[in-house]
Amino acid sequence: MAAPELLVDQKEGVLVLTLNRPEVLNSLTGAMLSGLSESLKKAAADKSVRSVVLTAKGRAFCAGADLADLRARQKGLGVSLGEELRRHFNPLILQIRRLEKPVIGAANGLAAGAGASLILSCDIKIAAPHARFILAFGQVGLVPDSGMTYYLPRHMGLSLAIEHAWTGRPITADRALDFGLVNRVASSEEEALTLAWDMARQLATKAPLALGMAKRAMNRAFDHDLETQLEYEAELQETLGKTKDHAEGVAAFLEKRKPVFKGE
C-alpha cells in the first residue's frame, strides 16, 4: 500500500501536518492540497487542537505544485490555471491566515514556488540552515502566486521583491532571517522541527481566544490606520475581558501559579 501523501498526527494539543512525497521534493498534488485544507478545517472546529505545525519529510519542504498532476487536473476538469488557484491554492493560504490558532512552519529544506508561499503564510517560520526559498514561477513562464506578491514586498521592499521574482535567485535561510521572512534559523534540520514543535506545544498552553484575536488584529493592521486599529483593539479587549480565560489568568497571576486556559 502506498504511503499517504500527507501525514496527520496530534498530541499534546498540537496538530502536526507533514508533507510526505520526499521522492519528488514534496511537490503538491490535488490530494495533498485537499488534505491540508480538510485538516485545517477540522483544526478550526476542534477545541482540542491548540496549535498546528506544518513540515515535510526528506531533504526539501516543498518544490511547489506537481506540474504533471496539475496538468492532468486541468485536462480532466477543463479548468484554467487561474481557476486552479481560486479553487485550491488561494483558499488554502487564506485558511492558514484566518485560522485563529498558531500555525508554525518548519522549513526543513528547499521551498520553491507555491511551496515557498505555503511556508511563508505560516504565523511563525523556523528554517533549517540549508533551507532556500525560490520564486520558481518565472522558469515556467508564470508570475509568483499563492500570496508571494503580497508577502515579499512587505518584507524585502519592492525592488528586491521584483528582482527575486524576475531572476528566481534563491533566498538563503540567513537572508530570509534578515528580512523577517522567517523567525529563526536552526542549527540543523532536526533542530528546526524540534524548535517548531516546542513552540507549538508552548503556545498550546496559552489562552486560545487571546491568541486567535491577536492574530486577527495583526492580519487587519496592514489595511487600517492607527486610529481605526486602536478602536479595534479596544473592542477585542472588551470581548476578552469578559472571558473565563481572562479571569483565570488574573487569578493565576495573583495566586502565583500557572494558569489553565480552556478557551472559554
Burial of 65 (0-12, 13-18, 19+ CB in 10 A): buried
d(CA 63, CA 168): 13
pLDDT digits (tens, 9 = 90+) for 197-217: 999 999 999 999 999 999 999
Residues in the chain: 264
Q: Quick one: pLDDT at residue 140?
A: 85
* C-beta separation of 184 from 177 below 8 A: yes
pTM: 0.93
Q: Cell digits for 242?
A: 469578559
Please tell me the least confidently modeled range out of 52-56, 79-83, 99-103, 124-128. 79-83
Q: What are 9's three cell numbers?
A: 498526527
User: Tens digit of pLDDT for each residue in 131-188?
Assistant: 999 998 888 888 999 999 999 999 999 999 999 999 999 999 999 999 999 999 999 9
Residue range 229-246, pLDDT digits in tens: 999 999 999 999 999 999
Please give the domain boundaries of the chain with CATH numbers for all domains.
6-203 (3.90.226.10), 208-255 (1.10.12)
Predicted confidence (pLDDT) per residue in 40-81, tens digit:
999 999 999 999 999 999 999 999 988 887 777 767 666 788
